[in-house]
Amino acid sequence: MPADEARSERAGSRKRGGPFDWVFVVAVAAVVATIVRAVYFTPVEARQGAAQKIFYLHAPSAFVALYVAFGLMALASALYLWLRDPRLDQLASSSAEVGLAFTTVVLVTGPIWGKTVWGAWWTWDARLTLTLFLWLIILGYLVLRGAVEDRQLRARYSAVLALLAALLIPFIHLSVYLFRTLHPQPIVLKPSAPSLPPEMLTTFLMALASILLLYVALLRARYALARAYASADAADDEAYA
């Protein structure tokens, strides 16, 4: 394909509406509805005050980032090492990047909440420290992808690092049971019934669904971007072959 055609094809894909679609619009509406419910229609917790409402963004973001986004990253990476399909590498890196954004939300909202209930922005307890380590490893994963030119080598290194990073996830989940920690134990994701009043539980489940939908929408957009990069690279390879 001539170079000019490659450029016009990329420009054409941009004109077709960009990476965002109706799923993103629905996800944004759902998140806005969740915030309105949390702010105006959910009771204030008696001991912690209004700051407890941080829970409705903090905990679902953590669930989506750690278990869904990084879980999918690890699964796609393992499948890549087996099948060597570049789309699996693109899916893994897309999920890692979106998961990093959600983990950033966790690491920013957590200290704000911690300041009100613990009196400190940060404490080096196991849950917080391991989550920060995972954030740094995923950041390193994305830096690695930017540093390796060879596509197959990059995909292989990335897949191995993603699998190693995913080993932290069970430790993060179990850290509140294994170590003495300030971070509370799960009040929803646990074997027994959730320890929340019905109004708060409804808001939490709504937040979980809307933030999960936002993750899906951002993953679709990021994966579309990765596919567009791959198409452009392939077109350029043909143009210069």
Partner 1 sequence: MTPPDNAAYYHAAYAAAVLIWTLYSASIWWRFRRLGARPPDSVSDR
Chain contacts with partner 1 (rule: CB under 8 A): 3, 6-7, 10-15, 18-20, 24, 31, 35, 39, 44-54, 57-58, 61, 86, 90, 93, 98, 101, 104-105, 108-109, 112-113, 115-116, 145-146, 149, 151, 154, 214, 218, 221-222, 224-226, 228-230, 232-233, 235-236, 239-240
As given in the structure block, the two tokens for residue 104 are 């950033």
Place of tokens 């077109």: 235
Question: Can you name the residues that pair with 49 across neighbouring β-strands?
Answer: 45
Which CB, 45 or 171, lies closer to partner 1? 45
Question: CB of 51 within 8 A of CB of 117?
Answer: yes
Which CB, 170 or 238, lies closer to partner 1? 238
Which CB, 124 or 240, lies closer to partner 1? 240
User: Measured from the CB of residue 234, what is the shortest distance to partner 1 in angstroms?
Assistant: 9
Question: CB of 155 within 8 A of CB of 89?
Answer: yes
Which CB, 152 or 167, lies closer to partner 1? 152
Rounded to the nearest 10 degrees, the angle between the axes of helix 198-239 and helix 22-40 is 150
Which CB, 10 or 183, lies closer to partner 1? 10
Secondary structure E strands in the chain: none
Question: CB of 222 within 8 A of CB of 94?
Answer: yes
Instruction: Give the integer Cα–Cα distance in Å for 166 and 72.
Output: 10
User: Measured from the CB of residue 123, what is the shortest distance to partner 1 in angstroms?
Assistant: 17
User: Measured from the CB of residue 141, what is the shortest distance to partner 1 in angstroms?
Assistant: 11
- Which run of H or E residues covers position 18? none
User: Measured from the CB of residue 76, what is the shortest distance to partner 1 in angstroms?
Assistant: 15
User: Measured from the CB of residue 226, what is the shortest distance to partner 1 in angstroms?
Assistant: 7
Is the CA virtual torsion 121, 125, 128, 132 positive or negative? positive
